[in-house]
A and B are shown apart, each in its own frame.
Chain A
Amino acid sequence: MSNKMHIKLKVNGKDEEFLADPRELLIYTLRERLNITGPHIGCETSHCGACTVTIDGKSVKACTMFVAQASGKEITTIEGIGGPDDLHPLQTAFKEHHGLQCGYCTPGMITRAAKLLEENPNPTEEEIRFGMAGNICRCTGYQNIIKSIQAAAAEMNAAKEAAE
């Protein structure tokens, strides 16, 4: 019954245009249509945050947004935060502080953490735990994720000071 819609997105700096069913969930657009498979699907009730991306400056669970809603917006996924040759300080810190094991929550975790540190560059441990509460991890017990985010914050703040 539904007509395909003309959708325009900017994903990791690249313009994308295509026809899609309005009901297509953004997470499927990213993964299956655009082959951006870093964001994952861990649930169907909007709890786990494995699909977290940044949309127009907000951390959003891409499983809870229709592609029709997202049309016209700018999206950043883990692939846009940093790649193997240009790791973001958060990616380096997750590696060095063992902030991941299976790696399934990690793209959502790091994407969310990047936004958290943008809003609050010096978070306390409590603020990190609360600020990351929309992201579930099965492996780490969170402890090393907190350490990773703290280390990245310190690194990013030092780099900012050095640049000033």
Chain B
Amino acid sequence: MIPAAFEYHRPQDMAEVLAVLEEHGDEARVMAGGHSLIPMMKLRMADVPHLIDLQDVGGLSNIDIGDDSIRIGAMVTQAAIIDHEGLGAVAPILREAALQIADPQVRYMGTVGGNVANGDPGNDMPGLMQCLDATFTVVGPEGERDIPAREFYEAAYMTAREDDEVLTSVTIPLPRGGYAYEKQKRKIGDYATAAAAVQIENDGGTCASVAIAMTNLSDTPVYSEAAGAALVGTSVDDVAIKAAVAAMLGDIDPTEDNRGPVAFKKHVAGVILRRAIERAWSRA
């Protein structure tokens, strides 16, 4: 419950954030909503001698909906995603997923940027962002660079973001077709036993395109190209869905924990993906 002592920094702009990061190296860490980092600090599992609070850094809390993409600032909260009417119209899967994350209090504080940058495979947004083919923008001493969500996750808590970089925004191509974020969990606020994000296009009864990603079934989110390939060109009938599930099972690598043994998690992953495909297809 009691975190170790730290120096607190509340910079007013990104240049100042980067300066603190540069000065203190891996002794410094940025904090967004604090709802993963503070719990880890309270358990002394995260050691953060210099805490950089991003709350006063401007320009990180906007949701901009363009003609072909959506840009979400890293400090946009889950509550803001849920309440944003325009976003609900153009990318309803974001709202559907955000409502399955944590609980009301956590959603007022927890941010999209923190969720995707954290690197915990339990987080829901990483798989969602892989499904949507999002791009993460990070800024560091060398300037900005873009990293595709599908290439961002390397292992648990290991991502393509360097220690001296800060994730500033998430850009999503406007999603097309039907969608579903289906999540099996033990209770409100739990990370998934298994979850699936599906975005699918229906062209006259045939699947024209589909993206499928799975949550908490490996040490990273899993974008399953093979599962998608099993559906494209089909009428998304029972045979095609079975093939997609089988392909997905080849891509995941769950580990046993108190959510269940590996065999159970694979079973749940199959059930959840089937439900997600069926629901997304019904909306396509």
B7 near A1: Cβ-Cβ < 8 Å: yes
Q: Is A140 an interface residue (CB 8 A)?
A: no
Minimum CB–CB distance from A20 to chain B (whole Å) comes to 10
With contact pairs A44-B1, A133-B189 given, residues A22 and B103 touching in the complex (Cβ less than 8 Å): no
A27 to B2, CA, bound (A): 12
CB of A64 within 8 A of CB of B53, answer no
Interface code B185-215, partner A: CB below 8 Å = 1, 0 otherwise? 0001100000000000000000000000000
How far apart are the CA atoms of A1 and B108 in the complex, in Å?
32
Contact of A112 among B1, B10, B39, B104 (CB under 8 A): B104
Interchain CB contact under 8 A, A1 and B5: yes
Q: Which residues of A (44-71) have their CB < 8 Å from a CB of B?
A: 44-47, 49, 52, 58-61, 63-66, 68-69
A23 touches B6 (CB 8 A): yes
Name which residue of chain B comes closest to A3, CB basis.
B7
Query: Within 8 Å of chain B (Cβ to Cβ): is A121?
Result: no
Specify which of B8, B35, B104 is in contact with A131 (CB 8 Å cutoff): B104
Task: Judge if B55 is at the interface, Cβ distance under 8 Å.
Answer: yes
Q: Does A80 contact B (CB under 8 A)?
A: no
**Smallest CB-CB separation from A57: which chain B residue?**
B108
Chain B residues closer than 8 Å to A61, beta-carbon distance: 105-106
Which partner residue on chain A sits nearest B187 by CB separation? A133
CB distance A23 to B104 under 8 Å? no
Q: How far is the CB of B28 from chain A (nearest CB, A)?
A: 13
Q: How far is the CB of B104 from chain A (nearest CB, A)?
A: 5
Q: Given A44-B42, A60-B105, 20 more contacts at CB 8 Å?
A: A1-B7, A2-B5, A22-B7, A41-B1, A45-B39, A46-B35, A46-B39, A58-B109, A61-B105, A63-B1, A63-B42, A64-B35, A64-B39, A64-B106, A65-B38, A68-B53, A116-B104, A134-B102, A134-B103, A134-B105
